[in-house]
């Protein structure tokens, strides 16, 4: 997958839209969206009903499997999957109710009340899944660097190691601080009906990770950032995908075969990280109207990186350690090359914090 290059970033427009950008489908995408929802929504509803109806039999199977070492988390994972499916089902129904309420009251999609209703639905969905994961798996959460959570809505750049860690920014920061977050997310997540429906109603950007150099993706991210109100931050995962040892090895091999000696050298010092894809972060730094940066390092989600790890029980009674730090806007370089080195240095800091958190275990 080709990362977004510097060309898009250097050519970004400097316009500042006043209203938050709710991503509109490009030409021809409306039909694909309708087709996708005609598949994903009935599939989730049917799977929810089938899983609920077959729950007695599934419980017996899970109890039997749990006797095997590789499936000792089967019962907890069955319960979590059922909770997820019902969250999706209730989320679909609630989003339909929010839409009908807006139609009856004559509100537009940009109406602040309509946006607030969808943000409330988003927070309910996140809280419910978070509480289910914490209680079912007996997970403990420790957060440090909480002083960095105070201040204006930032550009947030967390580490990415699991689907579960996507809940952290909202649970640890946005909800307690009453801040809204716009997400840069991969388009593959649109097959999740709740993310598809609500994610298109509030300001977000669903990125095509296969986009070639010269695409408009970086420009769209920059325009989204400029359009956001002061109380709404923007989140991007610089790594572009979840960390795994295999992905890091492939990235290191690619760097070794390229002429980027600096990247090769730095990657040797990032055993727990993938190299950041520079196009998105650099585009946001170039378009930054004055926001701080908020970074998030964490440790403990490795046991929830894949469904098979949940079944194996690797995440049971896990300790999740999270650390935040903030870089004020005044300390962010404005020069192109200096911004590149700045991102490298922050990734060095990310790895340092992971080592530090590991030493506290």
Write out pLDDT tens, residues 204-250: 999 987 765 546 888 999 999 999 999 999 999 999 999 999 999 99
pLDDT score, position 30: 84
d(CA 253, CA 166): 28
d(CA 262, CA 108): 50
For residue 258, name the pLDDT band (cuts at 50, 70, 90): low
- Burial call 32-49: b when 16+ CB within 10 Å, e when fewer: eeeeebeebbeebbeebe
d(CA 220, CA 197): 20
Is the confidence at residue 5, as pLDDT, over 50? no
CB of 348 closer than 8 Å to CB of 269 = yes
Mean pLDDT check: name the lowest of 6-10, 119-123, 208-212: 6-10
High-pLDDT (> 90) share of the chain, %: 74
d(CA 227, CA 149): 22
Instruction: Please enumerate, as own/partner, the contacts of 170-175 that have beta carbons within 8 Å and a separation of 24 or more.
Output: 170/122, 170/123, 170/126, 171/126, 171/127, 171/130, 172/143, 172/296, 172/322, 172/324, 173/149, 173/294, 173/296, 173/324, 174/233, 175/123, 175/126, 175/127
- 30-359 CATH pick, 3.40.1130, 3.40.50, 3.30.160, 1.10.3230: 3.40.1130
d(CA 224, CA 332): 20
The 3-class SS string of 101-145 reads HHHHHCCCCCCHHHHHHHHHHHHHHHHHHHHHHHHHHCCEEEEEC
Q: How many helices (H) and strands (E) does the chain have?
A: 14, 7
Greater pLDDT, 356 or 267: 356
For residue 28, name the pLDDT band (cuts at 50, 70, 90): low
Is the confidence at residue 76, as pLDDT, over 80? yes
Dihedral angle, C-alpha 49, 52, 57, 58, nearest 10 °: 100
For residue 260, name the pLDDT band (cuts at 50, 70, 90): low
CA distances from 104 to 99, 108, 179 (A): 9, 11, 28
pLDDT score, position 303: 85
Chain segment 34-73, per-residue pLDDT in tens: 999 999 999 999 999 999 999 999 999 999 999 999 999 9
What integer is the mean pLDDT of 95-101? 94
What integer is the mean pLDDT of 288-300? 97
- Mean pLDDT of all residues belonging to the chain: 89
Token code pair at residue 74: 């089967």
d(CA 228, CA 204): 10
Non-local (6+) Cβ contacts of 18 within 8 A are 227
Residue 200's H or E segment, with its range, is: none
For residue 304, name the pLDDT band (cuts at 50, 70, 90): confident
Domain residue spans in the chain? 30-359
Is the confidence at residue 118, as pLDDT, over 50? yes
Is the confidence at residue 311, as pLDDT, over 60? yes
CB of 347 closer than 8 Å to CB of 295 = no
Report helix, strand or coil for 312: helix
Mean pLDDT check: name the lowest of 11-25, 216-230, 301-315: 11-25
Is the confidence at residue 360, as pLDDT, over 90? yes
pLDDT score, position 61: 97
pLDDT score, position 252: 86
Is the confidence at residue 13, as pLDDT, over 50? no
The structure's pTM equals 0.88
- Alpha-carbon Rg of the chain, whole angstroms? 21
Token code pair at residue 321: 């350690």
pLDDT score, position 217: 87
pLDDT score, position 17: 37
């Amino acid at each position: 997958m080709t990362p977004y290059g510097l060309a898009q970033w250097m050519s970004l427009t400097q316009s500042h839209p006043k209203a938050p950008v709710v991503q509109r489908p490009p030409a021809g995408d409306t039909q694909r969206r309708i087709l996708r929802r005609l598949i994903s929504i009935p599939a989730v509803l049917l799977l929810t009903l089938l899983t609920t109806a077959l729950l007695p039999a599934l419980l017996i199977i899970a109890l039997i499997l749990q006797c095997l070492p590789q499936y000792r988390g089967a019962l907890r994972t069955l319960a979590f999957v059922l909770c997820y499916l019902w969250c999706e089902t209730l989320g679909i129904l609630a989003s339909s109710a929010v839409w009908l309420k807006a139609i009856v009251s004559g509100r537009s999609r940009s109406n602040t009340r309509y946006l607030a209703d969808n943000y409330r639905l988003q927070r309910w969905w996140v809280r419910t899944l978070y509480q289910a994961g914490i209680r079912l798996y007996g997970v403990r959460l420790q957060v440090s660097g909480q002083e960095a959570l105070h201040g204006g809505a930032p550009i947030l750049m967390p580490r990415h190691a699991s689907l579960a860690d996507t809940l952290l920014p909202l649970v640890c920061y946005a909800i307690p601080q009453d801040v809204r977050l716009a997400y840069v997310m991969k388009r593959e997540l649109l097959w999740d009906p709740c993310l598809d429906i609500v994610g298109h109603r509030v300001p977000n950007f669903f990125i095509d990770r296969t986009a070639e150099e010269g695409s408009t993706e970086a420009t769209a991210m920059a325009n989204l950032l400029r359009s956001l109100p002061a109380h709404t931050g923007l989140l991007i995962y610089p790594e572009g995908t979840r960390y795994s040892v295999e992905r890091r090895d492939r990235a290191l091999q690619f760097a070794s075969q390229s002429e980027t000696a600096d990247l090769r050298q730095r990657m040797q010092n990032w055993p727990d990280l993938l190299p950041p894809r520079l196009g998105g972060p650099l585009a946001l730094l170039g378009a930054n109207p004055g926001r701080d940066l908020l970074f998030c390092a964490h440790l403990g989600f490795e046991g929830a990186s894949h469904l098979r790890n949940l079944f194996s029980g690797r995440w049971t009674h896990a300790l999740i350690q999270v650390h935040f730090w903030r870089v004020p806007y005044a300390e962010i370089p404005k020069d192109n090359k200096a911004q590149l080195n700045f991102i490298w240095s922050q990734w060095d800091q990310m790895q340092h914090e992971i080592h530090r958190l590991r030493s506290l275990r």
